[in-house]
Chains A and B, each alone.
Chain A
Amino acid sequence: DAMVIQNPRYQVTQFGKPVTLSCSQTLNHNVMYWYQQKSSQAPKLLFHYYDKDFNNEADTPDNFQSRRPNTSFCFLDIRSPGLGDAAMYLCATSSTGGVADTQYFGPGTRLTVL
């Protein structure tokens, strides 16, 4: 089945220790998104790639970076995690990024910061 895969499902890191979350997709979609979802809140878009073009949301902290080395993979790097960065991180893809396009979500990575 075509899908969006996130690894790891659970990640524990220490305050200030860099961490990388991984997302891969077999859908061959052009657009990949990273959302942050804090406990009992709505997902909030951090950034997205349209093919190789990176688009950062205006309020995404500089602490968050992303890489997309090829169509299938996208990484979220948190350079110096703080306690406030503990959240579920959701990766999503869509075919064209059009207004009517469906986004397909991975299962998420739950990040704990100690």
Chain B
Amino acid sequence: GDSVTQMEGPVTLSEEAFLTINCTYTATGYPSLFWYVQYPGEGLQLLLKATKADDKGSNKGFEATYRKETTSFHLEKGSVQVSDSAVYFCALSDQGNTGKLIFGQGTTLQVKP
């Protein structure tokens, strides 16, 4: 079945450091890929998405490129801020599943001043 694997956390960085969170997926069809962010005590917010191969999603300085050849959707940001501290979830939505999201296990990011 479909699945998503994320790098394990927590990831601890200093402010202004470069961020990469790895995400790979397995899917039978042509999925759409998403990154959601969850701040402490809150629900999930869409960070960015890509709906076909080679698409790049971007938002708030975060980027991720849909790589079909490596089945990956790694999240990157050039310079993190303390306010980026949160849990990041990679997810996919596959055809025929009425939009059901399958999530990776989440990666906790801590950014220190």
Q: Which residues of A contact B (CB under 8 A)?
A: 4, 6, 31, 33, 40-45, 48, 50, 55, 90, 92, 94, 96-108
Contacts and interface: CB of A to CB of B under 8 A. Distances in A.
The dominant DSSP class at the B interface is loop
Q: Which 5 A-B pairs have the closest CB atoms?
A: A42-B103, A97-B99, A105-B43, A100-B51, A97-B98
Scoring B30, B41, B98, B100 by chain A CB atoms within 10 A of each residue's CB, the highest score goes to B98
A108 B43 contact: yes
B101 A43 contact: yes
A48 B98 contact: yes
25 contacts: A6-B43, A31-B98, A31-B99, A43-B44, A44-B103, A48-B100, A55-B98, A90-B44, A92-B44, A94-B99, A96-B99, A97-B99, A99-B29, A99-B31, A99-B32, A99-B51, A99-B93, A99-B97, A100-B32, A100-B49, A102-B34, A102-B46, A103-B46, A107-B41, A107-B42
A90 B93 contact: no
A107 B43 contact: yes
Nearest to B98: A97
Contact of B93 (A44, A101, A105): A101
Scoring B30, B34, B99 by chain A CB atoms within 10 A of each residue's CB, the highest score goes to B99
A99 B94 contact: yes
Contacts of A106: 43
Contacts of B31: 99
B47 to A, nearest CB: 11
Given A41-B105, A100-B32, A107-B42, 16 more contacts: A6-B43, A31-B98, A33-B99, A41-B106, A43-B89, A55-B98, A97-B98, A99-B31, A99-B51, A99-B95, A99-B99, A102-B46, A104-B46, A105-B36, A105-B44, A107-B43
B45 interface: yes
A38 to B, nearest CB: 11
Contacts of A102: 34, 46, 49
